[in-house]
Amino acid sequence: MMSAWLMAVRCQGLTPEETADMTLAMRDSGECLDLSPIGAITIDKHSTGGIGDKTTLMIAPIVASCGGYVPKMSGRGLGFTGGTIDKLESIPNFSVNLSKQDFFKQVQKIGCCIIAQSGNLTPADKKIYALRNLTATVDSIPLISASIMSKKLALGADCLLLDVKYGNGAFMKTPESAKALAESMLQVGIAHGKKCRALITDMNAPLGFAVGNALEVREAISILRFETHNALTELVLELAGQMLELSGAGSLQECKFKALHALESGKALEKFAEMITAQGGDASIIDYPERLPHAKCSKIMFADKNGYLASINSEEVGLACLTLGAGRTASNPEIDFGAGVIFLHKIGDEIRKNDILCEIHASSETLCEQAEQRLRSAMVISEMPVPEPQLIYDKI
């Protein structure tokens, strides 16, 4: 009966009221967190997933260093997309499993805490998701919306910023479908008393230059040090500013200035170190990133012609990183935290033959060579110049 109902939803859709009711029923199927012991307005951010998306690692300490409170439960990687928890676990001794009491205390004390999602949250969603795979209803916007928002509502934050991705490295392939999903989730959140906002962002190319757990932590540290200021930095500042404004810290312009000052002054980096220490991790990786896990082998991939870097297919990059061991597969459930890819160029850059396109990191030369074939096909060099894409498509 449930399978038939899911297929009917896929074909006929749900009204906003029906989607909100379904979300509430899924939320109430398990544990719901009461964040009132924190004693302040709390703000959460959710990304619909992608390749190289390390924004949470930077946003949480930036917002916390500006006086915000970010109680965050994140997930592990799914398929070819990376997970925030896997990235954090690449930091030696970092604990993502805290009791509720310790979770609350840390947010009260330092303003941010990122832990793994509880297994008691929304058990109905887990059962329905398994059926969605079997009934070809995974791409139904009402069902996606209910799945995501039931977990967000169960987590209990007062405010929610949604980063809805589109493109070849995201579940929603077009900006129009991403916008439809964002509007559905916003309607659900507002119907249940949450202060919500959404950004529609591009995932047609990896986010930033690093893909792979420890490699992405290194890149996040570089941005928190304000050594790197690029499109990813601007996206992080926009997201952090939006979160601060949602939580009542001032106008958007004021909040974005606060976020920028947190980076420039080093306060955000200090907060990141404080969070690592509070969760048992080795904060010395901030000054000595070589203490992060690193792969046994590496390989340089060179350009084979002159031109301009026209595109980097995110999905192909994600699948290449699975080959390298940066994500879990059925045959290899263990992650190689040091595996991944570092790109040396962004879309729009002029490329000369024999320029280094990327560095490939894995546990063996064979894996590097296998991934190189996929990465070479993922990177297109054109004869004509191309503009650098804008990461933010729309704000809702």
Instruction: Give the residue numbers marked as catalytic.
Output: 46, 125, 132, 147, 151
Strand pairing category for 307-312 and 350-351:
antiparallel
- Provide the β-strand partners of residue 160: 44, 196
Instruction: From 166, 207, 200, select the one nearest 183 (Cα to Cα).
Output: 200
Q: 201 near 181, Cβ under 8 Å?
A: no
Q: 127 near 146, Cβ under 8 Å?
A: no
Instruction: From 87, 54, 57, 92, select the one nearest 72 (Cα to Cα).
Output: 57
Q: 328 near 335, Cβ under 8 Å?
A: yes
Distances (CA, A) of 151 to 26, 134, 147: 8, 22, 7
* Distance from chain centroid for Cα 192: 24
Query: Any residues with CB less than 8 A from the CB of 69 and at least 6 apart, and which?
Result: 38, 40, 41, 42, 43, 107, 108, 111, 112, 247
DSSP secondary structure, 21-75, as one string: HHHHHHHTTS-----GGG-S--EEEEE---SS--HHHHHHHHHHHTT--EEEEE-
Tokens 């980096």, residue? 269
Distances (CA, A) of 304 to 314, 330, 354: 21, 34, 6
Tokens of 103: 């979770």
Tokens 């080093």, residue? 266
Tokens 């589109």, residue? 166
Tokens of 122: 């929304």
